[in-house]
Amino acid sequence: MGETAIILIELGAVFLGLGLLGRMAAKFGMSPVPLYLIGGLMFGHGGLIDLGGISEFGEIASEIGVILLLLMLGLEYTARELVTGLKGSWFAGIVDFVLNFTPGAGLALLMGWGFTGALVMGGVTYVSSSGIIAKVLSDLGRLGNRETPVVLSILVLEDLAMAIYLPALTATLAGLSFLGGLRTVGIALAAITVVLLAALRFGPQISRLIHSADQENFLLKLIGAALLVAGLASALQVSAAVGAFLLGIAISGSTASSATKVLEPLRDLFAAMFFVVFGLNTDPTTIPAVLPMAIGLALVTSATKILTGVWAAKRAGIGVPGRLRAGVALIARGEFSIVIAGLAVASGAVTGELAALATAYVLLLAVLGPVATRFVEPLSKPFLRKRTQSSPTLPNPPLVTD
């Protein structure tokens, strides 16, 4: 059988399987993300069947999936809303960093993995998965909830922090001098500033340039602009996902509404491939040895993420149910954590044990996060009832008769 035939058969099986898993998830009223991840784990390296034929296509498709997820996330907000949100959430971003970078870095130091290992594991435990969280919030219909802007502000701050962290990590792994690392970080900051200023100053012109009454032409310009901006951002050592998000906020008005409708089916298709490829690239045979450590770290950092979200939502004046939803929504780790671990492994600067721990940890929270987000709603109802019961009630007015 020819190579092309094998690739087509594997792709067909994967997409059909995704459809069946999505149908199963819908039947139970949950997001399909955990099932996509587990399905990829079963049919990747070390799983039941190794679908190696689709690896090249899968990597590109998964990258496009993350870009489309973040592009559509950006379409929900304007540049001015983003700047306003960042001004109000910068302190929450600092709290998020301290609470969630520390556990990973501290464990690495205790294990004797040194400064480099601490820098890697701190990044793995710090950053939530924008891709998974955006997909889950969309699936659950929570994009319009009061707490969602708080969640998105924290995610944006994390993604922007990655634009500084990743160049610094790369410089450390490569053994560059302090000045060399500083130059790399400076380029990343300059690129983010330019794109954000362009979105603020030329947002209407960008929207007019991309908009078209013809759906085919509109879709081609949208996809082309998203991939172009993401590629340029990546070339400048800025996350491709951050570039796509900034393009999304530059598109506003009716153009943004039309873009959301046109892109939604493509986003769902490529985002599903992202989650599957994440599972395909995880070797399940490396997990058992580090599983107890990964579970302990996952429990600790789940608690710190919940604390971060609850505290940030409380500052925004949101009630207890919304605070719990905000905190639990931040649990999931994913694409950035895997990128961080991948950079470290490729450099040869960390041990295989650290790589296995990072993989097991991310897989646990990539599954736990969506599940917890789905089921936190019933758990928050007792708090709401308690608050209602504790509210003072006025006695009934006396009956007035003639």
Q: What string of DSSP letters covers 158-198?
A: HHHHHHHHHHHHHHHHHT--HHHHHHHHHHHHHHHHHHHHH
For 79, the token pair is 């540049």
The pLDDT of residue 79 is above 90: no
For 13, the token pair is 């099986």
Q: Is residue 319 left, alpha or beta, with left meaning phi > 0 and alpha meaning psi from -120 to 50?
A: beta
The pLDDT of residue 182 is above 50: yes
| Mean pLDDT, all residues of the chain | 80
Q: What pLDDT does residue 186 have?
A: 76
| pTM for this model (two decimals) | 0.72
Residue type for 215, please? Answer: Q
Taken in order of first residue, the domains within the chain and their CATH numbers are 3-381 (1.20.1530.20)
CA distance 391 to 161: 42
Cβ proximity of 211 and 200 under 8 Å: no
Q: What is the mean pLDDT of residues 351-361?
A: 82
At residue 266, the 3 state secondary structure works out as helix
The pLDDT of residue 277 is above 70: yes
CA distance 114 to 118: 6
The pLDDT of residue 126 is above 90: yes
Q: Which residues are within 8 A (CB) of 235 and not within 5 positions of it... i.e. 6 or more apart? A: none
Q: How confident is the model at residue 398 (pLDDT cuts 50, 70, 90)?
A: very low
Q: Please, what sign has the CA dihedral across residues 78, 80, 82, 85?
A: negative
Burial of 381 (0-12, 13-18, 19+ CB in 10 A): exposed
